[in-house]
C-alpha cells in the first residue's frame, strides 16, 4: 500500500509539469519560409471593432466631449464676429444714404425740367433685346448655409430661361464661389470680380464701368443684376432686377429702406425702416445751367449705377453674414446637444464600471464566508 501511494504521488506531480499544446506554441520551420506564429492573433486584432470602454475612465468618450466643446466655442465666436460685421455693413449703408437721396432729388428735378427730351439719352433708350448680361453676386467663402447655392441656382435658372427664349447670355461674376462654379462648367464669362467683406466705391466703380462700356458699345442689350435681398437674420431672398437700360420713372419715384441690427437679452434681431422717395429738386424755368441739362443727366446716370451696385454689394454681404450667423448658431446648438448626449454615455459607463467593481467585491467577500 505504501508503494502504491508513492507511485500515485509521483504520477500526479509529473502530470502537473506536463506541457499542453494549448499552453505553449512552437514555431516549426517549413520549406520556403517560417510560419508566422502570431498570424491568427494579428488577424483578430485587425478585425476587432472599436468599442466603448466601460472601465470607469471612458477616455474615448471624454476626449470626444472635449473636442465637441472646443468646436462649440469656435462656432460661437464665429457667430459673434459675423454679427459685428453685419453692424459694420449696416453703418456703411447708412453712410451712403445722404448721397443717394441728393442724387435722386437732383435727377428727379432735371427729369421734370427736361420732360421728354431725356428719353434720347443712350442709357435710357430701350432697344430690342438680343443679348443679356447677367451680373451674379455670391460670396468668397463658405460656412454660410445655403447662401451661395441659392444664388448659383437662381443664376442657372435665369440663364436657362433666357437661352430657351433664343436670347444669348453671358455672365459677370462677383464672388469666388460663383466664379469657381461657372468656370468649371464653361459658361460664357465676360468678367470676374472678388466680393470682399467690406465693399467700397472703387470696387463698385470698376464693375459699373464694365457694365456701361458693354451696353454703350452694343455688346449687350440689357444687364440684369442677381443678388440676395437682405430681409432678416434668418431670411434672405435671391432677387433679379434690370440695371441697364435705366427707367427714369423708377429712379425718380423708387423709395428705399434701411436695416438696423438690434439685440434683446442676448438675441440678435433686425429692424427695417421704409424711407420715402426724395422730393425732386425744384429748378425754375428761368434758371440758366452752365452745362446742358442733358449732359448733367448723362453724367448722373453712371453715378447712380455706381451707387446701386455698391448698395447691392453691401446688402449681399449683409445677407451672407446673416446666413453665417444662423449657420454658426445651428452648429453651436448641435454641438451642445451632442455634448449632452456624450456626457450621458460617459456617466453610464462610469456607473456601470463602479457597479461591476462593487459586485466583484461583494462576490469575493461572499466566497470567503
**Catalytic amino acids?**
144
**Under 8 Å between Cβ of 15 and 5:** no
Give the containing element (helix H, strand E) for 11.
helix 2-16
Tell me the C-alpha distance between 266 and 283, whole Å: 50
CA 127 vs CA 132, 213, 244, 297: distances in Å: 12, 16, 11, 20
Omega of the bond leading into 353 within 30 degrees of 0 (cis): no
**Under 8 Å between Cβ of 281 and 108:** yes
Tell me the C-alpha distance between 260 and 89, whole Å: 10
Using CB atoms within 10 Å of the CB of residue 364, give its burial: 0 to 12 exposed, 13 to 18 middle, 19+ buried. Answer: exposed
Please, which residues have CB within 8 angstroms of residue 269's CB and are 6 or more apart in sequence?
Answer: 232, 233, 261, 262, 263
Q: How many CB atoms lie within 10 A of CB 270?
A: 18
Q: How many CB atoms lie within 10 A of CB 308?
A: 18
Amino acid at each position: 500500500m505504501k508503494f502504491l501511494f508513492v507511485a500515485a504521488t509521483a504520477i500526479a506531480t509529473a502530470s502537473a509539469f506536463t506541457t499542453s499544446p494549448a499552453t505553449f506554441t512552437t514555431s516549426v520551420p517549413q520549406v520556403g519560409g517560417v510560419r508566422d506564429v502570431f498570424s491568427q492573433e494579428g488577424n483578430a486584432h485587425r478585425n476587432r471593432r472599436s468599442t466603448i470602454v466601460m472601465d470607469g475612465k471612458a477616455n474615448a468618450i471624454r476626449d470626444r466631449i472635449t473636442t465637441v466643446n472646443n468646436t462649440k466655442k469656435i462656432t460661437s465666436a464665429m457667430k459673434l464676429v459675423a454679427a459685428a460685421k453685419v453692424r459694420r455693413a449696416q453703418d456703411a449703408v447708412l453712410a451712403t444714404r445722404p448721397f443717394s437721396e441728393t442724387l435722386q432729388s437732383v435727377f428727379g428735378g432735371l427729369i421734370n425740367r427736361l420732360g421728354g427730351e431725356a428719353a434720347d439719352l443712350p442709357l435710357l433708350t430701350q432697344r430690342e433685346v438680343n443679348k443679356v448680361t447677367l451680373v451674379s453676386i455670391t460670396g468668397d467663402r463658405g460656412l454660410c448655409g445655403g447662401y451661395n447655392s441659392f444664388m448659383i441656382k437662381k443664376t442657372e435658372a435665369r440663364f436657362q430661361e433666357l437661352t430657351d427664349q433664343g436670347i444669348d447670355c453671358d455672365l459677370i461674376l462677383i464672388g469666388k464661389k460663383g466664379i469657381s462654379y461657372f468656370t468649371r462648367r464653361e459658361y460664357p464669362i465676360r468678367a470676374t470680380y472678388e466680393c470682399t467683406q467690406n465693399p467700397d466705391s472703387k470696387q463698385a466703380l470698376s464693375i459699373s464701368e464694365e457694365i456701361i462700356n458693354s451696353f454703350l458699345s452694343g455688346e449687350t442689350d440689357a444687364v440684369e443684376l442677381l443678388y440676395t435681398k437682405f430681409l432678416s437674420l434668418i431670411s434672405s431672398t435671391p432677387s433679379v432686377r434690370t440695371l441697364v437700360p435705366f427707367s427714369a420713372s423708377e429712379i425718380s419715384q423708387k423709395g428705399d429702406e434701411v436695416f438696423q441690427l438690434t439685440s434683446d437679452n442676448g438675441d440678435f434681431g433686425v429692424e427695417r425702416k421704409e424711407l420715402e422717395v426724395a422730393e425732386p429738386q425744384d429748378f425754375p424755368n428761368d434758371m440758366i445751367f452752365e452745362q446742358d441739362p442733358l449732359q448733367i443727366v448723362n453724367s448722373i446716370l453712371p453715378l447712380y449705377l455706381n451707387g446701386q451696385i455698391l448698395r447691392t454689394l453691401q446688402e449681399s454681404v449683409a445677407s451672407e453674414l446673416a446666413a453665417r450667423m444662423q449657420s454658426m448658431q445651428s452648429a453651436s446648438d448641435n454641438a451642445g446637444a451632442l455634448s449632452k448626449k456624450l456626457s450621458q454615455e460617459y456617466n453610464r459607463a462610469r456607473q456601470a464600471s463602479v457597479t461591476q467593481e462593487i459586485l466583484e467585491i461583494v462576490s469575493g467577500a461572499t466566497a470567503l464566508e
